[in-house]
Amino acid sequence: MNDAPSVATSIPFAVPPSGPRSRLIAAEDHVVAAALAAMVLLPLSEVVLRTFFHTGLFNTGTFVQHLTLAVGMAGGALAARDGRLLALSTVTWLRGAWLARARWFSFTCAAAIAAALALAGAQFVSAEREGAQIFALHVPLWVVQCILPVGFGVICLRLLYQAAPGWPARIGALVVAAALLALGTWPPLAPATLMYAGLGVLLIATVLGAPIFAMIGGLGLLLFWGADVPIASMSVEHYRLTVNPALPSIPLFTLAGYLMAEGGASRRLLRVFSAVFGSVIGGPAIAVVLICAFFTAFTGGSGVTILALGGLLMPILLGAKFSERDALGLVTGAGSLGILLPPCLPVILYAIIARVDIREMFLGGFLPGILLIGMTAAWGIWSGRRNPAPRPPFDGAEALRAVWAAKWELLLPVVSLAALFGGWATPVEAAALTAAYAFIVEVLIHRDLHLWRDVPRVAAEAGLLIGGILLILGVALGLTNYLIDAQVPDHLAAWSEAHVHSRWLFLLGLNFVLIGIGSLVEIYAAIIVAAPLLVPIGLQLGINPIHLGVLFLANMELGFLAPPIGLNLLLASYRLKKPVSEVTRATFPLLVVMFLGVLLITYFEPLTTWLPQLLHRP
């Protein structure tokens, strides 16, 4: 989950805003912050009322689910406003006028796709209006569902604005986008004929930097269009996902992670790990591994970890006489650790999509996550032996002072896991409690963040990332729905039954396929699209669903390091100002180490199944 320019559209052409536009931006940020605050307060109120008064609020779940829809679309609009929609390509190989032309073309195509998604949303709302269903307080549900077409409409306009620095080029982009939309609405040729040309245009736009949501959404729209199925199906699935009862836990845990990352938690935790492990061989490496795993588990992906901590951790390793190559490889590789640990967001999303228990998924991923952390730390210790440096003696008093200073951050996993596994809070309520706890620690206790000056900014940053992710998830589920309707999972299952008779061989092949997917496709989109295709095959071969899910996520984690465009390679290159080729060479030893760990997870099933089985014991 990341918002770096390495995986996002480049910085907007516009100069920093001032005057009315500045006030509009501030107002948008505060609206997103207020929506996230409501998402925290409503579940917490439900917990308090249920625990102490044996009652609850009316329809809290429905409100929070639709707030997720609102935050997702508003956050997507913020990402489009700031030029930070996630993309697979940054066209760094182009310069000057060619770069400007590539941007104009890719953004124009993306704007046309956003307009088509807005049209699909309008068709969906029109159909829902006939049902006359009430949302709350006599407000019709279709009024709330208008968030979908309005949100995509705003994103379309902002993509057109971002397409070029001048108005003539922007107007040209508007004309071309309107023409592309007209071709889909009133096609001069049969849709099946135009679909292949559309796929070619979409491929070019993706290579030139179109956002990921446009790539996946455009593919889904073309497939539905070519099959003569109403494109409103895309919006139906988008709405169904964003109002899933468990989905609000994703933005809430993201908010908690951002509050911790933007506050002083990283400095305090680094002090703890350095004080405890600094006197042992490879101690700085152990500290780097642990703090990266901690932050990745709470921010949902390696991007925030590398961007927020990379500049802090590299000097520590270099100061401990690690070679620059080893330090670069360790920071890049450790950035993906923690994805299997609770309450990391990919685990939650996989559980939702694969329809397995979230608590079982977290328990299943815990031991494999610890294994990968331990193997990475072991590599760091070995690197420390190769580069000996004077080590300070262990100072118990300093360790105690560091632990005391970071006691509130160290209690964060306890609060989160106790709520999640204690049986008195749902996953969404546990996520709300975690976000509230992070807010109290960083704003009220340590006062690293100012309530009015910093919190809205941090919440808007979290909302921007949430919006970019939920845009991808919504359109990806629409594409997945098409694949399921086309019986792709059934065909894959039949093929595997005819050609793959060993589940061990299937798992080995699956490792390589998933690593490739993880190196090319954003992890959330990969979960949405690939998991429904793989789960039926796994069930047919007798693979435990929890084991399959942990394998899926572990290989995605490994894919972040896979050349040539693994996400961590790009992020580390951007943050640490190193060529991607240098980052790739530095990270290769860790790629091998983690691959061995993934093989061990693959073929020693008790690593993933032992803890979940404890839930079912009397």
**How far is the CA of 36 from the CAs of 435, 478, 616, in angstroms?**
10, 26, 35
Q: Token digits for 534?
A: 């793989």
Place of tokens 């845990």: 253
Query: Which residue blocks in 165-301 are alpha helix, DSSP H?
Result: 167-185, 191-207, 212-226, 232-242, 249-262, 265-277, 283-299
Nearest to 273 by CA among 285, 261, 259: 285
Contacts of 2 by beta carbon, 8 Å cutoff, 6+ apart: 8, 86, 301, 302, 303, 304, 307, 465, 567, 571
**Which residues of the chain are under the pLDDT cut of 70?**
1-19, 88-93, 188-190, 300-304, 386-389, 497, 501, 564, 574, 616-618
Taking the C-alpha atoms of residue 287 and residue 276, their distance in angstroms, rounded to an integer, is 8
Output phi, psi for 140, to 5 deg: -65, 145
Strand pairing class (134-136; 139-140): antiparallel
CA dist list (Å): 123 to 231, 476, 563, 569? 8, 19, 42, 41
Residue with tokens 């093989």: 599
3-state secondary structure of 211: strand
φ, ψ at 415 (rounded to 5°): -60, -45
Q: What is the pLDDT of residues 364-421, one digit of tens each?
A: 999 999 999 999 999 988 887 766 667 778 888 999 999 999 999 999 888 888 887 8
Q: Pick the closest to residue 1 from 234, 348, 236 (CA basis).
A: 348
Q: What CA–CA distance (Å, rounded) separates 90 from 428?
A: 35
**Of the candidates 507, 509, 487, 506, which has an alpha carbon nearest to the alpha carbon of residue 498?**
506
CA distance to 174, 305, 336, 373, 410, per residue, from 298 (Å): 40, 10, 12, 15, 12
Question: By the 8 A CB rule, do 507 and 541 touch?
Answer: no
Domain ranges of the chain: 59-242, 249-615
- Burial of 25 (C-beta count, 10 Å sphere; 0-12/13-18/19+): middle
Tokens of 378: 């072991």
Q: What is the pTM of this model?
A: 0.83
pLDDT of residue 227: 83
pLDDT at 90: 60
Q: Which residues pair with 133 in a beta bridge?
A: none
Q: Which of the 8 DSSP states describes residue 16?
A: P
